[in-house]
Structure 1
């Protein structure tokens, strides 16, 4: 009897023990499931919260800087290698690099931030060999555009004393001596554009030509060079100026053989905004180096005043200028950023230097504000964009560019073309915005 009772009690205890174990495991399982569900719920809640909260955008370009530095920082971000400015895949020596880098040099002078100097130096360091040869440059092409980046060499050589930079500058100076000319002595724009002078060419070559002459030529050779520089401006005024509007045509063909050339005058058909911009910048920049006692100095200042007076007649109420300057009301025309930036710079610098009356400073301010109001956009990270820039325009070539109104207004338009951002930086510096 006692044995059976013991057996029954043992069995009962065993059953109770198994029940307790099962209950414990069930609870444990439930706790694990509950815990997993809680974690998933937290994750979902966290995910929903994260989605609901706006992503924090990293600031690349601080908004408390001046516009010149903001645009320069944006350019460095867009083009970490200055050799690839202008949206190219491979490093190259070209005029757009020299344009932006000389604006960068001014930013460096104002800010004393080493990264700007390093950006300039890296370009020359990459493209100029130890023996002074310039990568991608061809002397035989006799292309005035390629002289422009020589400004970078003249900037760097006194600072670095690296002989390769001087030798490279000497190569570019030798191009000027061998550049083909029109019968009356005007530089062809390029060897493959025979007998043609373009307004662009005055900016591409002559500030470098004048600066080099000031630094490295002496006596009669310097006098001859200065005379030659002024002569180029005299020729452009003689052949490209339209007496009625006071504007200058984009190009002039001394042979009058090009399809785009007027058979009587040799001029191209229209007044392109950026071509006029290049010409104005050429005048105010060459005057930095032309001796005060040179008789041609007064003539160039006279040309500049005539130029400024003509341009103000075509300034839009926004403060900007159209792609084809005198046809603002024609279908397809548009307010163009590079020309407008150039004119703002030319007017401001001309007034500050005393070449132009003070009234042109107001015109420059109005133009600049028009750019900010209509053509500048700023991204969430602070990157600054200059919009509505004509990507490129020229005359002749293959496919053939006829210089017609339809041609100019249908060329590609893009944002942040360096032919616009460079002049915008110059204008920002000149107006200290």
Structure 2
């Protein structure tokens, strides 16, 4: 063969090989895309899916790494991750799609080291918020048998042993929030505490733990319940030293929607693990009945939603808020489904859910679901100081797709089978 013909033959062969490789890669990528996007259409997230799955897919699109949920740049251990991943667990159990399990697992895999150390977590801060993501560990450990997950859960349980308390035994919300109980803390700590106890404690140790869990609900009722309305104030300062604290009762001055939402979810979730024969069950169910009745009195009748400051819907600046409303749907629906509340509350849950769809949900062209009018954050005290006034609550940042709303929306959707 002549030299020129030989060169042409080699060139043709090289081009053919490149085409074959490109075709192969294209097919591989196509297969991978088809596998990973089985829940989506060419246009995006399928509108034929249930709302629970549509919102979870939207969350995964917004936050491909579960360790960076809540609009953060670096992986961190935080309560919002645990909230959304608890919802993801429900979607996985319903759909059996491994993509959702992997999303949950990846969070723990990134943040739990081989020796059980939890990255970004500091036990010495005694922050009840940090307990919440322990629910992920209690879910994964029986499935994976990875010791690091058990060790990390043990660390969180150890925090509760050392958590500072009020004089009558109530957990401080954080070490730096001295002498204070917040409604938020009941959701952050007690379901994990009860679940851990069910899994790993026995006899007297378990009984003592269950008694302490119920005691937290007793104390929050005792110190934050407003007898006139049946609503519970956001927080209580035993020392009455905080500027936001009533000098006679120690309570904060307003009823914040999401604080009440946290508390409702705490009650229905802790009952999953409290033994059937424990006397505390009936007490908590009683608290739940009073709670639900009080909420109906301040519900917006036109939309079925609730305002940011619950009892001041007619005051200028107040707004219908997504996170609290979603939490109330979940609480009502789960309570009825589990036999804690009468059937009428399921009707109320359906009404509010429709109100969320009609007023707070928008869907993009690619099917991405947005939950709007979410209060980004609210708290008590701190720096800059949060005085718990009406003006404070209604002027905190409002944003779309806050995980403190999307997580409960998914949970509510699951309970209503939407």
TM-score by length of structure 2 reads: 0.90
1:7-31 CA deviation, whole Å, 9 max, x = no partner? xxxxxxxxxxxxxxxxxxxxxxxxx
What is the CA-CA distance between 1:58 and the residue it aligns to?
4.5
Which residue of the other structure, out of 311, 315, 325, is the alignment partner of 2:310?
325
Alignment of 1:57-206 (within 5 A): 58-206=42-190
Query: Gaps spanning 5+ residues in structure 2: where?
Result: 1-40
Higher Rg of the two aligned structures: 1
What is the CA-CA distance between 1:228 and the residue it aligns to?
0.1
- Hey, what does 1:406 align to over in structure 2? 391
- Hey, what does 1:218 align to over in structure 2? 202
What is the CA-CA distance between 1:314 and the residue it aligns to?
0.8
1:55-81 CA deviation, whole Å, 9 max, x = no partner? xx9522110000000000000000000
- Hey, what does 1:335 align to over in structure 2? 320
- Hey, what does 1:394 align to over in structure 2? 379
TM-score by length of structure 1 reads: 0.87
Alignment of 1:300-319 (within 5 A): 300-317=284-301, 318-319=303-304
- Hey, what does 1:349 align to over in structure 2? 334
Alignment of 1:244-283 (within 5 A): 244-283=228-267
In structure 2, distance between residues paired with 1:242 and 1:386: 31
- Hey, what does 1:37 align to over in structure 2? none
SS in 2 for 1:266: coil
SS in 1 for 2:44: coil
1:262-317 CA deviation, whole Å, 9 max, x = no partner? 00000000000000000000000000000010011100000000000000011112
In structure 1, distance between residues paired with 2:300 and 2:253: 22
Query: Gaps spanning 5+ residues in structure 1: where?
Result: 1-56
SS in 1 for 2:243: coil
In structure 2, distance between residues paired with 1:83 and 1:141: 20
- Hey, what does 1:359 align to over in structure 2? 344
Residue-pair matches, total? 377
SS in 2 for 1:151: helix
In structure 2, distance between residues paired with 1:374 and 1:107: 24
1:127-146 CA deviation, whole Å, 9 max, x = no partner? 00000000000000000000
What is the CA-CA distance between 1:339 and the residue it aligns to?
0.3
- Hey, what does 2:30 align to over in structure 1? none
Runs of 4+ in 1 over 2 A off after TM superposition: 57-60
CA-atom RMSD in angstroms: 0.7
